[in-house]
């Protein structure tokens, strides 16, 4: 039996190594293919530009094909021919080619924006495809910006598409932003949001910012009109609205919190709409050509399961003590590029440190070897502890995730219930009777999706006295169910 186990372990290791090598080869192939396509496309664009642009002798400022392509929006009173020409001359940068960036880029390209830049250092994953609408299954493993531009060129070959295959960094942000007229923040983490806003303000670029998580989204137009720091007539920046970042441990990503595709798609489409409004402002017959009335900045909140779907809140103008757009600003392009403005430090670590001691944690493999399961059950939540195996395994994911997959004999107690328990002598209502019994001291193991919530749960359970002053072991499975898939069961659902 031991020989068979060694053979299985060896085969698993070989499979893992081969999969890693295959992924690397796919990335190299994607880069080579994209380089070949880019070279071919550049040649085609160069040839087409020689023949496709209106000649100096032409009576019309647009190509005949462009009149047909954009005609339905040019006859909208707020756009007209003047607005279409502004769109063709505009240069827009989208930071992020994911759930927000894809629909935003799709509609901006369709509208005829002359230059679209996309910056993103990630590659396409299968888990992206349900919401990141520019990507295709065949492009899994490609850079997102390359995958997106491939689809955008099929939609509209007229714009110039620029790929920035990198994550935005303070050292590169000013140089990249300087090439564009308008910035769209399509990212999903606070540190990058502050970097984008600071750079946009200091370079005089309007900014359209959006976010989405689960079933809700937010949208703001910032630094509009763009004015130098100290000019009170300028629009507020991200720091004006959120002077302090949220606690690092409260930030939830789409991977952890989930997201409905149409929700993030709605916010991305609205970003494109706001960008078009900014670019075409004052065009056509839909605006007063006299003195411009300065509009109050607004925060639009979308909630898919609320009625009404949208709420709008007026936000304050520029703060007099803002560190980037006030007269006493301390954030400058020099502090950004030099690293003196530390965004990671300002927002806190995105990767929480280990909260438990080594002896309070066990690996997925160690747990499996110590308590080998017989059957992995896919059914929904349980609330009864089982002591038949000499221990209890508590899964602290929410009920929805627990219903997707769970370990044998695990019981579901959501982390929210555990953290909400007040410190008191009475046993919390969520504790199963078997665990509360005085004669029961078998160990308790806690598991979650990634191994972060489980640590918080262990700490809280000990604070509540469930370890009986050290008489009962309480620990977590390090790395959570992701580690279970990697170390124990390669067929475990990955979501």
Residue 347 among known ligand-binding residues: no
- Give CA–CA dist 458/357, Å, rounded: 11
> Are residues 182 and 206 in contact, defined by beta-carbon separation less than 8 angstroms?
yes
96-103 mean pLDDT: 98
pLDDT for the residue 283:
82
Of 289 and 430, more confident? 430
In this prediction, what percent of the chain has a pLDDT beyond 90?
A: 68
**pTM, two decimal places:** 0.78
In this prediction, what percent of the chain has a pLDDT beyond 70?
A: 82
Residue pLDDT, tens place only, 108-117: 999 999 999 9
Residue 99 among known ligand-binding residues: yes
Most confident range, picked from 5-19, 378-392, 468-482? 468-482
Residue that has been written with the tokens 């490609």 in this structure: 142
pLDDT for the residue 67:
96
Quick one: pLDDT band at residue 426, thresholds 50, 70, 90? confident
Distance of CA 36 to the CA centre of its chain: 30
Classify 299 as helix, strand or coil.
strand
- Give CA–CA dist 160/154, Å, rounded: 13
> Are residues 271 and 100 in contact, defined by beta-carbon separation less than 8 angstroms?
yes
Of 82 and 48, more confident? 82
The residues, any chain, with a CB within 8 Å of residue 427's CB and separated by 6 or more, are 436
Query: Omega of the bond prior to 195 within 30 degrees of 0, cis?
Result: no
- Give CA–CA dist 214/303, Å, rounded: 9
What length is written for the chain?
Answer: 495
Of 311 and 37, more confident? 311
Quick one: pLDDT band at residue 335, thresholds 50, 70, 90? very high
Residue that has been written with the tokens 């927000």 in this structure: 100
Residue 206 has pLDDT above 90, yes or no: yes
- Give CA–CA dist 410/476, Å, rounded: 13
> Are residues 116 and 160 in contact, defined by beta-carbon separation less than 8 angstroms?
yes
Residue pLDDT, tens place only, 384-410: 554 456 899 999 999 999 999 999 899
CA atoms within 13 A on the CB side of 219: 24
Quick one: pLDDT band at residue 343, thresholds 50, 70, 90? very high
Residue 45 has pLDDT above 50, yes or no: no
Residue 127 among known ligand-binding residues: yes
pLDDT for the residue 378:
43
Residue 189 among known ligand-binding residues: yes
What is the 8-class DSSP label of residue 106?
A: H
Residue 31 has pLDDT above 50, yes or no: yes
pLDDT for the residue 246:
87
pLDDT for the residue 389:
61
Residue pLDDT, tens place only, 222-278: 999 999 999 999 999 999 999 999 887 677 778 778 899 999 999 999 999 999 999
pLDDT for the residue 375:
40
Residue 437 has pLDDT above 90, yes or no: no
Sign, Cα dihedral of 398, 401, 403, 407 = negative
pLDDT for the residue 51:
42
Residue 405 among known ligand-binding residues: no
- The pair of structure tokens assigned to 84 is 């279409």
> Are residues 301 and 216 in contact, defined by beta-carbon separation less than 8 angstroms?
yes
Quick one: pLDDT band at residue 381, thresholds 50, 70, 90? very low
Beta bridge partners of 95: 119, 185
The backbone torsions φ and ψ at residue 104, rounded to the nearest 5 degrees and listed phi first, read -65, -45
Between the CA of residue 454 and those of 108, 254, 490, what are the distances in Å?
43, 19, 22
Of 469 and 139, more confident? 139
> Are residues 177 and 171 in contact, defined by beta-carbon separation less than 8 angstroms?
no
pLDDT for the residue 44:
45
pLDDT for the residue 11:
75
Q: At what angle do helices 80-89 and 261-279 cross, to 10 degrees?
A: 110
Which of 31-45, 154-168, 311-325 is predicted least confidently?
31-45
Closest CA to 98 of 71, 57, 75, 128: 128
Which of 30-39, 72-81, 113-122 is predicted least confidently?
30-39
> Are residues 430 and 413 in contact, defined by beta-carbon separation less than 8 angstroms?
yes
Sign, Cα dihedral of 321, 326, 328, 329 = positive
Distance of CA 167 to the CA centre of its chain: 13
pLDDT for the residue 84:
97
Strand 160-164: give its sheet, edge to edge: 160-164, 115-119, 91-95, 182-185, 207-213, 216-222, 298-303, 310-314
Which of 10-14, 197-201, 419-423, 474-478 is predicted least confidently?
10-14
144-167 mean pLDDT: 98
pLDDT for the residue 387:
46
- Give CA–CA dist 409/384, Å, rounded: 9
Q: Among all residues, which ones are annotated catalytic?
A: 254, 448
The backbone torsions φ and ψ at residue 92, rounded to the nearest 5 degrees and listed phi first, read -120, 135
Of 56 and 369, more confident? 369
pLDDT for the residue 238:
97
> Are residues 479 and 450 in contact, defined by beta-carbon separation less than 8 angstroms?
yes
pLDDT for the residue 485:
95
> Are residues 152 and 107 in contact, defined by beta-carbon separation less than 8 angstroms?
no
Between the CA of residue 120 and those of 117, 148, 195, 209, what are the distances in Å?
10, 10, 15, 16
Residue 287 has pLDDT above 60, yes or no: no
Residue 39 has pLDDT above 80, yes or no: no
pLDDT for the residue 27:
64
Are β-strands 91-95 and 115-119 bridged in parallel, bridged antiparallel, or unpaired? parallel
Classify 317 as helix, strand or coil.
coil
- Give CA–CA dist 466/76, Å, rounded: 67
pLDDT for the residue 114:
97
Residue 237 among known ligand-binding residues: yes
Average per-residue pLDDT in the chain? 87
Quick one: pLDDT band at residue 53, thresholds 50, 70, 90? low
Are β-strands 411-412 and 298-303 bridged in parallel, bridged antiparallel, or unpaired? unpaired
Residue 44 among known ligand-binding residues: no
pLDDT for the residue 43:
52
Residue 120 among known ligand-binding residues: yes
Residue 292 has pLDDT above 80, yes or no: no
Quick one: pLDDT band at residue 469, thresholds 50, 70, 90? confident
């Amino acid at each position: 039996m031991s020989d068979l186990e060694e053979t299985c372990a060896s085969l698993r290791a070989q499979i893992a190594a081969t999969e890693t090598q295959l992924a690397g080869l796919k990335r190299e192939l994607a880069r080579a293919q994209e380089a070949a396509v880019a070279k071919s496309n550049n040649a085609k664009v160069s040839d087409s530009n020689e023949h496709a642009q209106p000649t100096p002798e032409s009576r019309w400022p647009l190509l005949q094909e462009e009149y047909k392509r954009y005609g339905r929006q040019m006859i909208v009173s707020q756009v007209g021919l003047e607005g279409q020409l502004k769109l063709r001359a505009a240069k827009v940068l989208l930071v992020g080619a994911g759930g927000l960036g894809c629909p935003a880029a799709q509609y901006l390209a369709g509208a005829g924006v002359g230059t679209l830049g996309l910056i993103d250092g990630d590659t396409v994953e299968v888990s992206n495809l349900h919401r990141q609408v520019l990507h295709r299954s065949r492009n899994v493993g490609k850079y997102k910006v390359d995958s997106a531009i491939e689809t955008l060129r099929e939609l509209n070959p007229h714009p110039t598409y620029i790929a920035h295959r990198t994550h935005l960094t303070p050292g590169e942000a000013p140089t990249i932003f300087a090439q564009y007229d308008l910035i769209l923040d399509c990212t999903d983490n606070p540190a990058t949001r502050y970097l984008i806003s600071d750079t946009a303000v200091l370079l005089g670029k309007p900014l359209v910012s959006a976010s989405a998580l689960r079933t809700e989204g937010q949208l703001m137009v910032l630094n509009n009109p763009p004015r130098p720091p100290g000019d009170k007539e300028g629009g507020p920046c991200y720091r004006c609205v959120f002077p302090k970042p949220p606690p690092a441990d409260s930030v939830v990503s789409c991977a952890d919190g989930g997201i409905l595709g149409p929700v993030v798609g709605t916010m991305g489409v609205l970003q494109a709409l706001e960008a078009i409004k900014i670019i075409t402002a004052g065009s056509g017959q839909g605006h007063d050509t006299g003195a411009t009335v300065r509009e109050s900045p607004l925060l639009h909140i979308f909630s898919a399961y609320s009625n009404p779907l949208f709420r709008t809140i007026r936000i304050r103008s520029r703060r007099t003590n803002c560190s980037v757009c006030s007269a006493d600003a301390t954030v400058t392009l020099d502090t950004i590029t030099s690293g003196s403005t530390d965004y990671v430090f300002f927002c806190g670590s995105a990767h929480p440190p280990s909260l438990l001691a080594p002896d309070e944690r066990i690996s997925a493999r160690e747990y499996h070897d110590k308590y080998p399961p017989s059957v992995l059950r896919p059914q929904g939540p349980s609330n009864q502890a089982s002591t038949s195996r000499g221990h209890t395994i508590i899964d602290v994911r929410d009920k929805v995730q627990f219903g997707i997959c769970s370990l044998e004999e695990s019981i579901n107690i959501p982390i929210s219930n555990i953290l909400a328990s007040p410190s008191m002598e009475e046993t919390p209502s969520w504790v199963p009777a078997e665990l509360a019994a005085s004669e029961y001291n078998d160990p308790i193991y806690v598991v979650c999706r990634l191994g972060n919530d489980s640590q918080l749960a262990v700490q809280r359970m000990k604070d509540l006295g469930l370890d009986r002053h050290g008489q009962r072991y309480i620990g977590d499975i390090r790395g959570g169910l992701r580690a279970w898939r990697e170390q124990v069961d390669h067929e475990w659902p990955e979501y």
